[in-house]
Amino acid sequence: MPETSIRPFDASRAEIKTRVENAPGLLLCTDFDGTLAPIETDPAAATIRPENRELLGMLREMGDVRVAVVSGRALSDVRERVGIEGIAYAGNHGLELRRRGETKLHPIARKQKETIGRICTALEDALDGISGTAIEDKSVTATVHYRNTPEAQVPSVRETVDAVVSRLGGGRIHRTGGKKIFELRPSVRWNKGMVVSLLAADHEGWLPVYMGDDTTDESAFRAVSNGLPIYVGTAKSNARYRIPQQSDVADCLSDLVEWHT
């Protein structure tokens, strides 16, 4: 896919304002880590910025607005970290989806839960000798963190992960990457973009917005290509708008609150 020209959100405010004002409703979907919360060395320490929580709460209260947080974290984890009831949550890149008070699990993901558990147990042993790795069992997926691992040892982490997955995964689990992480997921064609499309189908005609900072967010940017795909960061992205700093996300949310009437 050719890279579309990405423009600063700040320099596009007039055009975005018009689109928000003219939209019959607003579907605001957002990633968590690196978007609502600053990236932390220890992923367990990631905390939503209070102003972002407050602004999402305000959006939830507005008419014709739907808020959804879409994360690679387990659903229970991201829901607790955001701490707002009455909005939609997608965990594990959408394999878990909670909306209208009901949680659903992708059927293939449900079947592979035990395999993921076995792989995590085996990885605890296999990665024991490599410093700085951490394994997070997220029930239907798993994450191997290597942010604190010396650069020279990262290839060994990758090789070890691949060996364990190929030994125990039965060809039904695959590895993907992210920011200083390897993710192990059931081999099912499902991503953030698909879950965002599912949410958008509930609100036809509304303006869909997606904010995210990582490669796994690109599918969601494509899903809202007719709306507002907003990339947070300075790297390459196929989103249409860019917010360079995570700390500026609150300004964008605040604009949406102001413009949606």
Residues annotated as catalytic (active site), given as ranges: 31
Q: Which is nearer to Mg ion, 137 or 218 (CB)?
A: 218
Between CA 193 and CA 178 the distance in angstroms is 16
- Match 């507002």 to its residue by tokens: 228
Q: Which is nearer to Mg ion, 55 or 164 (CB)?
A: 55
Q: Which is nearer to Mg ion, 42 or 258 (CB)?
A: 42
Provide the minimum distance between the beta carbon of 204 and Mg ion in the complex, in angstroms, as a whole number.
27
CA-based R_g, the chain, Å: 19
Length of the chain counted residue by residue: 261
Structure tokens, 222: 């494509």
Residue closest to Mg ion when measured from CB atoms? 34
Between CA 143 and CA 225 the distance in angstroms is 29
Provide the minimum distance between the beta carbon of 20 and Mg ion in the complex, in angstroms, as a whole number.
23
Provide the minimum distance between the beta carbon of 129 and Mg ion in the complex, in angstroms, as a whole number.
29
**Residues of this chain that bind Mg ion (CB under 5 A):** 31, 33-34, 213-214
Provide the minimum distance between the beta carbon of 122 and Mg ion in the complex, in angstroms, as a whole number.
27
Q: Which is nearer to Mg ion, 211 or 228 (CB)?
A: 211
Backbone φ and ψ for 209, nearest 5 degrees, come out as -125, 140
Question: Residue 121: in which H helix or E strand, if any?
Answer: helix 113-126
